[in-house]
Homo-oligomer: A and B are copies of this chain.
Amino acid sequence: MTVAFAGERGAFGELATIEYFGEKVKSAALPEFGDVFRGVARGRYGFGVIPIENSLAGSIHENYDLLLESNLHIVGEVLLRIRHFLIANKGVSRRQIRRVFSHPAAFAQCKKFLKRFPNLTVVPVSNTAWAVKKIRNESFGDAAAIASQQAAADFDMRVLARNIEDTKWNTTRFLVVSKTSRFPSPAEKRIKSSIVFSTKDIPGALFKCMSVFALRDINLYKIESRPVHGRGFQYLFYLDFAGDARSEAQRNAINHLQEITTFYRFLGSYQVDKPRDPVYHRR
């Protein structure tokens, strides 16, 4: 059984994969999110791990779209704190650095650190782990990369600075997706369920939808509306609520909800994760 993620080895997608499936997981690094969804939908991979929201950048609607299109199920989540390291070739010191390679999102997340070195040129690349590979392969003596600790270790590089991100609370939420649905076992505690729906565009429509949960004392983890242009309905709602969708109150709430929605899709029930720090793994 192979697990697919998007990005290079050592990127945060792989770290989330290891956090969920353990160090011995057999994983495949694919170029794009769409490749992960398609590969899992076609049965080439048992599971996929994809980012769905970040505490600074927001929900990744594109991956919600791919989730709906591919008909996959959510079977788990991983909340990973984003920690960035300043990485250089061995023998290179911080004073020698003139250029920094990384993904633009990583630069945005390390602004305060970068401001302390106004003479540095930032060089955007498409992937943080690839930035490390690049400065190693070209033996740059004047360049550093911003990437994960894992990427530094994988390429056997020198770490010049640790945890250089602006905020310690920056967390990315990854979903574990599968072709076959899976429900939590009785041993699993703190379950949440994810659904997507749309309503008629009339005042109070969403309020009615939320009443089906409030009337049954079911807590909500997430609600988000998204305008959908060029389709048959105007808004799509993402909702995460507490509990297993097979439990009685949740089952009743879902039946009730389907009476008042114009579109409804159940995405999955799975264990709630708490934000965790990425752990470095020896290969």
Contacts and interface: CB of A to CB of B under 8 A. Distances in A.
A207 B214 contact: yes
Given A55-B229, A56-B61, A58-B59, A219 B207 contact: no
Size class of the contact patch on chain A:
35 or more
Contacts of A46: none
A204 interface: yes
A17 to B, nearest CB: 21
Interface string A165-183: 0001101000000000000
A120 interface: no
Contact of A220 (B34, B124, B224, B225): B225
Nearest to A60: B58
Contact of A224 (B171, B202, B224): B224
Interface of A: 32, 34, 53-62, 65, 103-104, 107-108, 111, 122, 124-126, 168-169, 171, 201-204, 206-208, 210-211, 213-214, 217-230, 242, 275
